[in-house]
Amino acid sequence: MRQLLVINPNMSAHVSALLQRHVQGAAGSHVAVRTATARFGAPYIACEASYAVAAHAALDVWAHEIAQPQTPPDAVLIGCFGDPGLMALRESSPVPVTGLAEASFIEAARHGRFAIVTGGERWGPMLQRLAQALGHAHALAGIHTVAPTGAQLAADPEAARALLAQACRDVVRQMGVQAVILGGAGLAGMAAAVQPQVSVPVIDSVVAGATWALRAHPVPPERKVAGFDVAWVGVSQEMAALGTRCVV
């Protein structure tokens, strides 16, 4: 059975439960999904500072999980629409790694130019930067952030669905896109509710992440075993154990 490790880089147990339920549901019974929650950081990632700490938290929880006496993962999914720590974790992992945003970009780009609808105004420039770094800026027509954060949207699903449906319709009309990404772990499952009210495909970032995990990965990671190319000081025991043994 294929093993998928999902990392929630914030400390919200509610978000972890959403990720577990929706990723497992999308992946099906032939994939064993295990969701792990950050051991430190913010309850929700909504600014540059919390994003930076979340990258460390993602690496830490990954090191902790692979140190446990359990079947190692065949792939890793960062369960945050913003993918904190993606490049560092990909560099350190012997198995494929992606995040909700990258998986969504890939899925949405199959339809043509796309827009992003998500919660929290500070995410706009952060996601634009990520799209540029991942090579998807040419296909991204724009980013629409609604005022509530993803956590606030998840806390009131009924109001969130109405707000997000209108935002999706607005970006289709204003930007002429062929797809819309509804981004955010806390918004898992809302795309299906919004879709009947929107004329183009609405991509659920969590489902896109699960779909990515089910696909073959033609380019294997360069690293054969998990590890960091640095001698750590002051990090968790599990991270230190994966670090370079000699101090440069």
Under a CB-based contact definition with an 8 Å cutoff, are residues 183 and 81 in contact? yes
**Residue 18: closest CA among 206, 149, 183:** 206
Predicted confidence at residue 245, as pLDDT, reads 54
Q: Angle at the Cα of 59 (from 20 to 13), degrees rounded to 5?
A: 35
**Residue 187: closest CA among 120, 118, 121:** 118
By mean pLDDT, which of 24-28, 123-127, 151-155 is the weakest? 151-155
CB within 8 A of 87, min separation 6: which ones?
A: 133
Res 109 pLDDT > 80: yes
Q: What is the pLDDT of residues 201-248, one digit of tens each?
A: 999 999 999 998 888 565 667 788 999 999 999 999 999 999 985 443
Integer Cα distance of 132 and 130 in angstroms: 5
Under a CB-based contact definition with an 8 Å cutoff, are residues 97 and 74 in contact? no
Q: What is the pLDDT of residues 15-58, one digit of tens each?
A: 999 999 999 999 999 899 999 999 999 999 989 999 999 999 99
Domains of the chain: residue spans and CATH:
2-99+212-242 (3.40.50.12500), 101-205 (3.40.50.12500)
Would you give the DSSP letter of residue 6? E
* Largest interatomic CA distance in the chain: 58
Q: Within 13 Å, how many C-alpha atoms sit on residue 129's CB side?
A: 10
